[in-house]
């Protein structure tokens, strides 16, 4: 196992659920991340889906003690490099592309690349990746599909993301090839908009209590 893979696994094993965040306003990033960390969710993925995302990564990396902030929705080498520069400790992509793999090869920051089929998993394994994001999890076949991959693709572990909630998280977490899940339910838009950080800490605590 490579040093980068070990680093990635050490981050993903911090908790059963990695919050997947869409940050609209950079001013909410730090209190939101602090609320999640207070609830026991230290590894946090901020997706590059808004103009505020990179500044949010930078703010959380600089100001939130105990947080391991990663950047998600990385689609190309330019995004990868910008996210690393902003302070990301891990990088997440919904799928994989040659430019992203090339940027990852040249970086000390680990990549969690996405896969949804056996062929994609095999391709990434050949490229040296044994820890993958399964995305979009529910839409791609759910826990039953991922369980079916566990025997022929033994040795690969996943962080399923997409359509996962408190109700179905354990369906995934009970699988032998799942290290954690990703979910946005721990930071609902309405609680973020209201600045209800205590409410988010409560949701984070419930998620952190799930068994990985």
- Triad 29, 37, 64: Cα angle to 5°: 50
| Catalytic residue (choose from 45, 85, 167, 190) | 45
- Give the pLDDT confidence score for residue 211 in this predicted structure: 81
The 10s digit of each residue's pLDDT in 57-67 is 999 999 999 99
Q: Is the peptide bond before 67 cis (omega within 30 degrees of 0)?
A: no
**What's the confidence (pLDDT) of residue 103?**
98
Distance CA 104, CA 165 (A): 30
In eight-state DSSP terms, residue 81 is H
DSSP structure class, residue 17: E
Choice among 4, 42, 58, 133 that is catalytic: 133
Angle, helices 98-105/77-86, rounded to nearest 10 degrees: 40
Q: Which pLDDT tens digits describe the chain residue by residue (212 residues)?
A: 899 999 999 999 999 999 999 999 999 999 999 999 999 999 999 999 999 999 999 999 999 999 999 999 999 999 999 999 999 999 999 999 999 999 999 999 999 999 999 999 999 999 999 999 999 999 999 999 999 999 999 999 999 999 999 999 999 999 999 999 999 999 999 999 999 999 999 999 999 999 85
Does 133 participate in catalysis according to the annotation? yes
DSSP 3-state helix, strand, coil percentages of the chain (rounded to 5)? 45, 15, 40
Domain ranges of the chain: 3-208
Fold (topology level) of 3-208: TIM Barrel (3.20.20)
Q: What is the pLDDT of residue 118?
A: 97
Q: What's the pLDDT at 1?
A: 83
Q: According to the model, what pLDDT value does residue 82 have?
A: 98
Task: List CB contacts of 31: < 8 A, sequence separation 6 or more.
Answer: 195, 197
pLDDT of residue 212: 56
pTM of the entire structure?
0.97
**pLDDT for position 124:** 98
Rounded to 5 degrees, φ, ψ at 161 are -145, 140
């Amino acid at each position: 196992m490579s040093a980068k893979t070990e680093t990635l696994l050490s981050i993903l094993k911090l908790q059963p659920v990695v919050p997947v965040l869409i940050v609209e306003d950079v001013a909410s990033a730090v209190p939101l991340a602090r609320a999640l960390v207070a609830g026991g969710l230290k590894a946090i993925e901020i997706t590059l889906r808004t103009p505020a995302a990179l500044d949010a990564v930078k703010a959380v990396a600089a100001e939130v003690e105990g947080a391991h902030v990663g950047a998600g929705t990385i689609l190309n080498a330019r995004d990868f490099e910008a996210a690393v520069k902003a302070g990301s400790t891990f990088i997440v992509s919904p799928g994989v592309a040659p430019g992203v793999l090339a940027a990852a090869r040249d970086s000390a920051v680990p990549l969690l690349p996405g896969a949804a089929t056996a062929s994609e998993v095999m391709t990434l394994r050949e490229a040296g990746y044994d820890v993958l994001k399964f995305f979009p999890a529910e839409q791609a076949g759910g826990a039953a599909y991922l369980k079916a991959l566990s025997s022929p693709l033994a040795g690969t572990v996943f962080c399923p993301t997409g359509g996962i909630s408190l109700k179905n998280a354990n369906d995934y977490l009970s699988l032998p090839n799942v290290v954690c899940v990703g979910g946005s339910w721990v930071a609902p838009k309405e609680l973020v908009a209201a600045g209800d950080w205590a409410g988010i800490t409560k949701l984070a605590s419930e998620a952190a209590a799930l068994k990985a």
